[in-house]
Homo-oligomer: A and B are copies of this chain.
């Protein structure tokens, strides 16, 4: 009855999209099965822990992606300004200019936060600390850098909410432009 031998990792992007669109409660196994093209059998073969394990794996993958493409450069790249510039580019692309929701942010607001407290917190903590580190390398004082990093993260999350509420990408674009300017100023 088997068709193709899949890998667990291949399923994560499709599953992530389902969770993004429907949230943890709204993402039914039937829907996940449909969108991944895999039957329940395979799904539970790869994720014996069920939906909770699926969402956990998705969060893990998201954190890994952000670590590679955003957090690590922010933290370690000798050219901090360029790392920040690349962060903004990556963010715009990743969130599809505001059309796509931040799954971690959505989980933070919903009751699913309680299930995934650690992963949600870790994602934002890593982002904030990496960005603050880059700002320090650009010559900012540590406390200022911390506040600024927090402000940037909040603005990103908030403009994702507004962009979706207004169904208007321009909201997100304006916010990104402003943040680049704020960070550039002294």
Contact = CB atoms under 8 A, between A and B. Distances in A.
A102 B106 CA distance: 12
Interface stretch (A5-13, A72-80, A145-153): A145-153
Contact of A110 (B26, B155, B160): B26
Residue from the set A125, A150, A167 with the largest chain B CB neighbour count within 10 Å:
A150
Contact of A23 (B25, B157, B158): B25
A150 to B, nearest CB: 6
Residue from the set A21, A23, A109 with the largest chain B CB neighbour count within 10 Å:
A109
A82 interface: no
A178 interface: yes
Interface string A84-128: 000000000000000001001110111101000100110111000
Contacts of A162: 108, 124, 150, 153-154, 157
A95 to B, nearest CB: 12
26 contacts: A21-B111, A23-B110, A25-B26, A26-B110, A101-B109, A104-B165, A105-B161, A106-B110, A108-B161, A108-B162, A108-B165, A109-B109, A109-B160, A109-B161, A109-B164, A113-B165, A117-B167, A124-B162, A151-B155, A151-B175, A153-B158, A153-B162, A154-B154, A154-B175, A155-B155, A157-B161
A59 interface: no
Contacts of A106: 109-110
A108 B157 CA distance: 12
When A and B form their complex, which 10 residue pairs have the shortest distance between CB atoms, in order from nearest? Answer: A158-B158, A154-B158, A157-B158, A108-B165, A25-B25, A25-B26, A157-B161, A106-B109, A154-B159, A124-B165
